[in-house]
Amino acid sequence: MPAATVPTSPLPRVERFFEIPVTVAALLVVPVIVVEASTGLHRPWTTIAGVTNWVIWTVFAAELIACLAVVDDRRAWLRNHPLEVVIVVLTPPFLPSSLQAIRALRLLRLLRLLRLAQIGRRLFSTQGLRYAGLLAALTALGGGAAFASVEKGHSTWDGVWWATTTMTTVGYGDLYPKTPEGRAIGILVMLIGIGFIAILTGAVAQRFLAAQVDAIEAEITHEGDTVDEVLFELRAIRERLGELEGRVGRLGLEQPR
């Protein structure tokens, strides 16, 4: 009878799906808190910070609900993941402003960054490059529109031009922010642009080096197989020597005195 196949849990797949969104959401906690704590900033920054706060909490809540939906023992999962539960329960955006400092607990989810190797492999993949390209395009459009709204006298197209030259580190110098809000936008646009270029460079390098890496791995595997064959032959020789020693010993005992 064929062996029964054991169904695999979909939980690891769900955790991998939320890995990057949760990390990005945790990274956005600091700028949102800074914007909301600044007394000199008004609309549209306060509105953007409020919407981002809701988005961050929604990502954490969606991850919690998705994990509970696929696990078999929900109570055991809740006991083993208290941080995820605390963040969703204690940091909803509708809490009073006096309790919003608890949102700093969301930063603890940056412990996911300890798995940078796995995240890096996913970022440098084709799917990761698509996400990075989409984020870069949204940053160019959104950053350009935000630049035009805070820097008076410039159109949205001027803002998109400025955002594109800033993200690509060209920096013609024909447009540059003069207000504190514009400079804050510039910092964010530069960081995302540099990150996108790094991901793009890493993906291209990985694509060109993939064949060489596979060849090296194949060579190492072949050498490992050769070593195994040598060890096997040495064991066989040792066994044959043991048999010969036993026969010689028996012949010596059988000789007449």
Domains of the chain: total: 1
- Whether 70 maps to a domain, the answer reads yes
- 45: which DSSP letter? H
Q: Judge whether 28 and 50 are in contact, CB under 8 Å.
A: no
Phi, then psi, of 41 in degrees rounded to 5: -95, 140
Angle at 183 between CA 178 and CA 185, to 5 degrees: 130
pLDDT-flagged residues of the chain (< 50): 1-6
Q: Is residue 52 in some structural domain?
A: yes
State yes or no: cis peptide before 44, omega within 30 of 0: yes
Domain assignment present for 15: yes
At residue 218, the pLDDT reads 61
Q: Is residue 102 part of a domain?
A: yes
Residue type, 57: W
Whether 90 is in a domain gets the answer: yes
Q: Quick check: is 243 in a domain?
A: no
- Residue 27 belongs to domain spanning: 8-113
- Report the alpha-carbon distance of residue 135 to residue 212 in Å, rounded: 31
| Phi, then psi, of 42 in degrees rounded to 5 | -130, -160
Predicted confidence at residue 1, as pLDDT, reads 46
Say if 147 falls within a structural domain.
Answer: no
Q: Report if residue 155 sits inside a domain.
A: no
CATH number for the domain spanning 22: value is 1.20.120
